[in-house]
Amino acid sequence: MPGGGNYAGGGVMTINWGSAIQRIEDGSSNTVMINHVRVGPAANDMRGTWAFGITSITAGNAIGDCYTPNDTGCCSDDVSGCSDRPDIAMGCWNGGYGQTQARSQHSGVVLAAMGDASVRTIKNSVSQRTWFFMISRNDGQTWSDN
């Protein structure tokens, strides 16, 4: 992980699995439950389609080439059938179902609902390390607002 450290952690909700609130080890006020996702820029791009839950999983990011909210890198989301459009902050690798990134059309931010029902504005400039800690329910680490 950039910034040092080798941390393990997982999100609150993943494919066919979810953690009960009382089992969010890092505390519900410290863990992102859900966040903005954007609809894909082409008809065959399933990102942001809530009923197609595979493409709405953002807890698998902040690793590899999927760094921070609204990242502008190519290939960052891993979704079959997607369109790689880093020019509009929608980079994607059309090769599988791994993760998608928190994305919004707000200038410089995404909104995230925490496990305690509070909503926070997360800046695109949040560090990858802090973003990892925010989306992980069980990394055992603390973070401060960005």
Q: Where are the domains of the chain?
A: 13-135
Q: What is the pLDDT of residue 47?
A: 86
Q: What is the pLDDT of residue 63?
A: 76
Higher pLDDT among residues 1 and 57, named by residue: 57
DSSP 107-138: TTEEEEEETTS-EEEEETTS-HHHHHHHH-SS
Q: What is the mean pLDDT of residues 68-72?
A: 92
Q: What is the pLDDT of residue 50?
A: 65
Give the model confidence (pLDDT) of 83-135 as tens digits. 999 999 999 998 777 778 899 999 999 999 999 999 999 999 999 889 989 99
Q: Which two tokens stand for residue 116?
A: 């305690």
Q: What is the pLDDT of residue 110?
A: 95
Tell me: pLDDT of 22 over 70: yes
Q: What is the pLDDT of residue 17?
A: 77
